[in-house]
A and B are shown apart, each in its own frame.
Chain A
Amino acid sequence: MSLLRVCAFTSKRLNTQLLFVDLSFAGCLRTASGAAKDKEPLRKAKTPQGRFDMDDEKPKDPLQKFPDDVNPATKEQGGPRGPEPTRYGDWERKGRCVDF
């Protein structure tokens, strides 16, 4: 806690810097929440990320958690969610194969 006291004399310079950071952060928040409707909405390129930005609702995770985290078929606790990853002979997860 003595460290805080030592830092205090430099805090004046820190404060102004932090305030500036705070303002710009708040500014970003306002635009992201859609409150600035009077302005033209930012045109994002047709990138995959851009397409996700247009959609306001969060996409649901396609892999649901098991009740109590216990797989009802195999009685495994704490195992991978969703269908068995090794069912196709490799380790499959959301269409991706993982090598290990």
Chain B
Amino acid sequence: MMAGVSRILIRRLSSSQSLPPSVRCCSRNFHFNINGKRDDAKVSNDISQYPVVDHHFDAVVVGAGGAGLRAAFGLSEAGFNTACVTKLFPTRSHTVAAQGGINAALGNMEADDWRWHFYDTVKGSDWLGDQDAIHYMTEQAPASVVELENFGMPFSRTEDGKIYQRAFGGQSLKFGKGGQAHRCCCVADRTGHSLLHTLYGRSLRFDTSYFVEYFALDLLMEDGECKGVIAFCMEDGSIHRFRSKNTVIATGGYGRTYFSCTSAHTSTGDGNAMVTRAGLPCQDLEFVQFHPTGIYGAGCLITEGCRGEGGILINSEGERFMERYAPNAKDLASRDVVSRSMTIEIREGRGCGPEKDHVYLQLHHLPPQQLAVRLPGISETAMIFAGVEVTKEPIPVLPTVHYNMGGVPTNYKGQVITHVGGEDKVVPGLYACGEAACASVHGANRLGANSLLDLVVFGRACALTIAETGTPGEKLSPLKPNAGEESVANLDKIRFAEGTIRTSEIRLNMQKTMQNHAAVFRTGDLLKEGCDKMDAIYQSMEDIKTFDRGIVWNTDLVESLELQNLMLNAVQTIHSAEARKESRGAHAREDYQDRMDELDYAKPLAGQEKKSFDQHWRKHTLSTVDIKTGKVTLGYRPVIDRSLDQEECSAIPPAIRSY
């Protein structure tokens, strides 16, 4: 109704020139007319019958979560004409769910040094992280947190007014020898929410053009250089080509490839898929972090404190199965042992529920008073998310995905790289940051409170690199007039798809296959079977059926495009996992339980012969996909073991990781 009124307004306003400019500006063409700045968008019929609008910008950022917003306003602040293309409103991005805190070696609670944070992160990554990127991140951490605080983020404070830092997992002092470090800065219990709102509010100060609810389809690549992005406006079905010299990918992770994940429905790995379709590799996709007790169906995680307070895990026979897997620790065993035990129980047919695909977490044998005092709010959580009365029924749980370490490979400056002839080569015009990128600071396993830090540091790094290497207002190189026609052809094909299998069925098949075959419990046979099943499911995408033929708010179309993206991520994940024959960090295999480095670091190094690059596994996986056949090709790239400045911060040589 309001749209109808506004259209009348526009027609009347545009006809009457005597009205003041402020009134004329309030027209419905919100997307192409921000703050009165008329963007030289031209409509053409260059590719197919869909009208295409061409925009020219100095920089385009795809995604508006923590990393995307930081990059977008960093660029606007530097004077670049920036567009931010996002399929969600910025404050609805998944960053909002990160309630914890940010790590930074500010030294407010005790004497601290960023080199100790560097050591902790390198160790946490199981020596798969690139030490120059980790050096960059941990050194910039204090400055980044102070910058956020200057932007207005309301961190919690100590009595003296400094930022309060609390202890959180994996952080130590004096290179692991000085006890627990207090580095995690938080904003009450909603740090991610506050971060997102602070960054969004700050970005409105600069004139970034936001293109909200525009689904980015593909990168516009020409001669190995990225010249922009082609996107589809979900609101009115128009196609937009955003031409620019610098494109930043900040699209987040791809949790939705698994049946049980904490991610939003919109975490579909769009950036990874765009890069794959452009023929570039993705890095380390097999490293996916799991949490043992996520609520079945909802995907929310139940705290380990439930088991700490006496909760037990039971299978369909009512047996406390952890006694068999960890006779001493029982339910208090470490996360990976618990996750693996749960998966083995489910695989052996002792799962609960109609599909026997989860186990139960029982808390009703504990006194209700104790539960209410020690774990306040748990009865509310269990009722809302699982629909159970926690004092009477058990909660259905299963291992759940919550983070993807892998993504688009970049160097420490945020530039996307490929590996050609044994050397890292920068892809001109393309950058990536956030969970979508793999810098790689998290390596094989991410430490808690490091991911929010990763967002702000590398979002800023992308903006700084672009500002260093380019100037605002640079003339764009010419682009072929039919650039992006394959993307539009694909869109058209999906819009009018007449197969037999629905999108939701293919998606569920993929999610269940990934959950059964590429989850916590990984062995050669299981992964091989999973690879074959995933290849078949990839082929079944040819038979997809969509129902909505419209072009305005066609969610069937958008979900099918997202499914294409998820599928690319899923096949790369499972094939990379099948190929990696070792256990490292989050990738744990039953048949290869040890880490396989170039030297055996468990024994004295003197007299050992270094294994050749092909024989050890301390290397990054680079995966590419042939889009038509779904065949995954794997390559490898060495880990960067030097820090940025050996004198300032010496690199940490590999060692056995034990906590």
Q: Please list the residues of chain A having a beta carbon within 8 angstroms of any beta carbon in chain B.
A: 2-3, 6-7, 10, 13-14, 17, 47-48, 51, 59, 62-63, 74-100
Contact of A2 among B19, B164, B302, B449 (CB under 8 A): B19
Please state if A97 and B5 are interface contacts (CB–CB under 8 Å): no
Contact of A98 among B97, B154, B385, B387 (CB under 8 A): B97
Give the docked Cα–Cα distance between A74 and B5 (Å): 56
Please state if B159 and A62 are interface contacts (CB–CB under 8 Å): no
Q: How many residues of B are counted as interface, with CB atoms below 8 angstroms from the partner's CB atoms? A: 65
Can you spell out 14 A-B residue pairs with CB atoms less than 8 angstroms apart?
A2-B19, A10-B8, A10-B9, A48-B383, A62-B376, A76-B166, A77-B164, A78-B155, A79-B188, A84-B166, A91-B189, A95-B306, A98-B100, A99-B403
Residue of A3, A13, A82, A94 with most partner-chain B CB within 10 A: A94
Please state if B189 and A80 are interface contacts (CB–CB under 8 Å): yes
Please state if A97 and B291 are interface contacts (CB–CB under 8 Å): yes
- Whether B427 sits at the interface, judged by CB under 8 Å, is no
Residue of A14, A48, A91 with most partner-chain B CB within 10 A: A91
Q: Per DSSP, are chain B's interface residues mostly helix, strand or loop, or mixed?
A: mixed
Q: B155 contacts which chain A residues (CB < 8 A)?
A: 78
Which are the 3 A-B pairs with shortest beta-carbon distances? A94-B377, A95-B378, A88-B305
- Whether B380 sits at the interface, judged by CB under 8 Å, is yes
Give the docked Cα–Cα distance between A91 and B372 (Å): 18
- Whether B157 sits at the interface, judged by CB under 8 Å, is yes
Q: B378 contacts which chain A residues (CB < 8 A)?
A: 94-95
Q: A62 contacts which chain B residues (CB < 8 A)?
A: 372, 376-377, 380
Q: B98 contacts which chain A residues (CB < 8 A)?
A: 98-100
**A87 → chain B closest CB, angstroms:** 7
Please state if B304 and A3 are interface contacts (CB–CB under 8 Å): no
- With contacts A92-B305, A94-B378 taken as known, whether A77 is within 8 angstroms of B99 at the C-beta atoms is no
Q: A78 contacts which chain B residues (CB < 8 A)?
A: 154-157, 187-188
- Whether B300 sits at the interface, judged by CB under 8 Å, is yes
- Whether B125 sits at the interface, judged by CB under 8 Å, is no
A-facing residues in B284-307 (Cβ within 8 Å): 289, 291, 293, 300-306
Residue of B169, B301, B304 with most partner-chain A CB within 10 A: B301
Q: When each residue 6-25 of chain B gets 1 if its CB lies under 8 Å from chain A and 0 otherwise, what string results?
A: 00110011000001100100
Give the docked Cα–Cα distance between A87 and B289 (Å): 21
Please state if A81 and B189 are interface contacts (CB–CB under 8 Å): yes
- Whether B402 sits at the interface, judged by CB under 8 Å, is yes
Q: B164 contacts which chain A residues (CB < 8 A)?
A: 74, 76-77, 79
**A3 → chain B closest CB, angstroms:** 6
Please state if B8 and A100 are interface contacts (CB–CB under 8 Å): no
Give the docked Cα–Cα distance between A41 and B451 (Å): 49
- Whether B167 sits at the interface, judged by CB under 8 Å, is yes
- Whether B530 sits at the interface, judged by CB under 8 Å, is no
**B324 → chain A closest CB, angstroms:** 24
- With contacts A77-B159, A90-B169, A94-B380 taken as known, whether A100 is within 8 angstroms of B192 at the C-beta atoms is yes
Give the docked Cα–Cα distance between A78 and B190 (Å): 11
Give 4 A-B pairs besides A48-B387, A92-B303, A95-B382 with Cβ atoms closer than 8 angstroms. A13-B5, A88-B304, A91-B101, A98-B98
- With contacts A48-B387, A62-B377, A90-B169 taken as known, whether A80 is within 8 angstroms of B186 at the C-beta atoms is yes
Give the docked Cα–Cα distance between A76 and B155 (Å): 10
Name A61's closest neighbour in chain B (CB-CB): B377
Contact of A95 among B188, B289, B381 (CB under 8 A): B381
Q: B304 contacts which chain A residues (CB < 8 A)?
A: 88-90, 97
- Whether B191 sits at the interface, judged by CB under 8 Å, is yes
Q: A7 contacts which chain B residues (CB < 8 A)?
A: 9
- With contacts A2-B20, A6-B12, A87-B305 taken as known, whether A99 is within 8 angstroms of B376 at the C-beta atoms is no
Q: B385 contacts which chain A residues (CB < 8 A)?
A: 96
Please state if A3 and B23 are interface contacts (CB–CB under 8 Å): yes
A-facing residues in B344-400 (Cβ within 8 Å): 372, 374-385, 387
Give the docked Cα–Cα distance between A79 and B194 (Å): 13
Residue of A14, A59, A93, A98 with most partner-chain B CB within 10 A: A98
- With contacts A3-B26, A63-B377 taken as known, whether A79 is within 8 angstroms of B303 at the C-beta atoms is no
